[in-house]
């Protein structure tokens, strides 16, 4: 009862504290405490309306409609409202019940592989992912399909960020730390005035303990401590839009560690990364993108010129009424402005 009121009271306090911290502790500003709290508020406000959760489930189900090994329960919209969510029932074994999964004959390493593939497709193919993947929200069905529930927290990533992340993950997986460093600088995650070679050494120190080793040999606590130290050393700012992804990766790795401690789930995604980059970053993909952008620009061009005309025509007419000889100067100027408008739209769209 009164959850919205209580939540607002608490988060008003969080925001106040975050603003005070940004004022009195300049060094903490790179962590964006205010933006992080605002991201949290936005996420939970959506989570409190179960119609939004139902809509999220429907979108995720649609994205995997052609995948018979990833099950998202159907929504019963007639029995769903702001306070009630009704879905199709899921019959399966909780993914954290390792012994029961073994007894049922499920291949645990194959489950981790499939979980990794599904996570990859959500993040990179769709840019829309389940962001609350703790063990209580995932089940294994009789046919070894993975089923998920609880769609209150979902994450979105735009196309440009997906490109950065794909480059970064591939760089880590294949041990190309020049690529990893380059991505961080291109994306603006590391300030341009920082030493690129020093940063490359730092990311190598993070990557080497992860890739090429079994999950059981990795200390997540030590890794996070080292990562935080690197962000501090290079004045890296927190990316609020990636907070949900970071949390989800941590949860997913925890599930993978429980199921198959000797399997590194991130290395399993290498073929998918390479295939995705070929389809989305290769010459054909770039040609399609350029063609699409050009067509969009041509579509918007008449409106742009029309807007420009409406802004300038009244001024031109008023001037010509007072001094008709201005026509000799005005028309070349008008032609130049139109040409610049065309070039601007072609460049940006």
Contact 293, 349 (CB under 8 A): yes
CB under 8 Å to 35, separation ≥6 — which residues?
238, 240
Backbone phi and psi for residue 265, each to the nearest 5 degrees, phi listed first: -65, -25
CA 218 from chain centre, in angstroms, equals 25
**Tokens 């996420």, residue?**
43
**Catalytic member of 132, 158, 176, 235:** 132
Whether 54 and 75 have beta carbons less than 8 Å apart is answered as yes
Asked if residue 262 lies in contact with residue 213, where contact means CB atoms within 8 angstroms, the answer is: no
Angle between helices 50-63 and 33-47 (to 10 degrees): 90
Assess whether 178 carries a catalytic annotation. no
Counted residue by residue, the chain has a size of: 349
**Residue 66, class by beta-carbon neighbours within 10 Å (0-12 exposed, 13-18 middle, 19+ buried)?**
exposed
Contact 79, 174 (CB under 8 A): no
Residue with tokens 């502790």: 25
Beta strands 93-94; 154-156: pairing state: unpaired
Helix spans in the chain (H): 3-24, 33-47, 50-63, 98-103, 108-120, 159-174, 177-187, 196-207, 220-233, 243-259, 270-281, 283-322, 327-348
Residue 138 DSSP symbol = E
Active site residues: 132
């Amino acid at each position: 009862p009164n959850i919205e009121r209580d939540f607002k009271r608490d988060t008003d306090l969080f925001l106040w504290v975050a603003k005070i911290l940004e004022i009195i502790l300049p060094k903490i500003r790179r962590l964006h405490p205010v933006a992080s709290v605002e991201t949290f508020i936005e996420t939970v406000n959506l989570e409190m309306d179960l119609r939004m959760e139902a809509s999220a489930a429907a979108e995720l189900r649609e994205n995997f409609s052609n995948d018979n090994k990833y099950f998202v329960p159907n929504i019963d919209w007639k029995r769903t409202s702001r306070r009630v969510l009704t879905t199709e029932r899921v019959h399966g074994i909780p993914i954290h019940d390792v012994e029961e999964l073994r007894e049922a004959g499920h291949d645990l390493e194959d489950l981790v592989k499939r979980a990794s593939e599904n996570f990859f497709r959500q993040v990179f193919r769709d840019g829309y992912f389940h962001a609350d993947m703790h063990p209580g929200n995932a089940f294994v069905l009789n046919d070894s399909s993975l089923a998920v529930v609880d769609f209150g927290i979902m994450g979105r990533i735009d196309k440009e960020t997906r490109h950065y992340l794909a480059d970064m993950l591939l760089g880590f997986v294949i041990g190309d730390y020049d690529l990893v460093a380059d991505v961080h600088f291109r994306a603006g995650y590391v300030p341009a005035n920082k030493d690129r070679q020093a940063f490359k050494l730092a990311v190598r120190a993070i990557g080497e303990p992860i890739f090429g080793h079994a999950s059981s040999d990795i200390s997540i606590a030590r890794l996070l401590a080292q990562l935080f130290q690197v962000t501090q050393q290079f004045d890296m700012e927190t990316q609020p839009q990636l907070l949900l992804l970071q949390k989800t990766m941590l949860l997913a790795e925890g599930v993978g560690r429980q199921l198959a401690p000797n399997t590194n789930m991130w290395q399993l995604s290498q073929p998918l990364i390479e295939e995705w980059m070929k389809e989305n970053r290769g010459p054909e993909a770039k040609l399609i993108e350029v063609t699409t952008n050009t067509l969009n620009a041509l579509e918007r061009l008449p409106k742009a010129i029309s807007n420009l005309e409406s802004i300038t025509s009244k001024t031109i007419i008023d001037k010509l009424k007072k001094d008709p000889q201005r026509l000799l100067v005005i028309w070349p100027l008008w032609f130049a402005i139109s040409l610049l408008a065309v070039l601007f739209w072609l460049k940006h769209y």
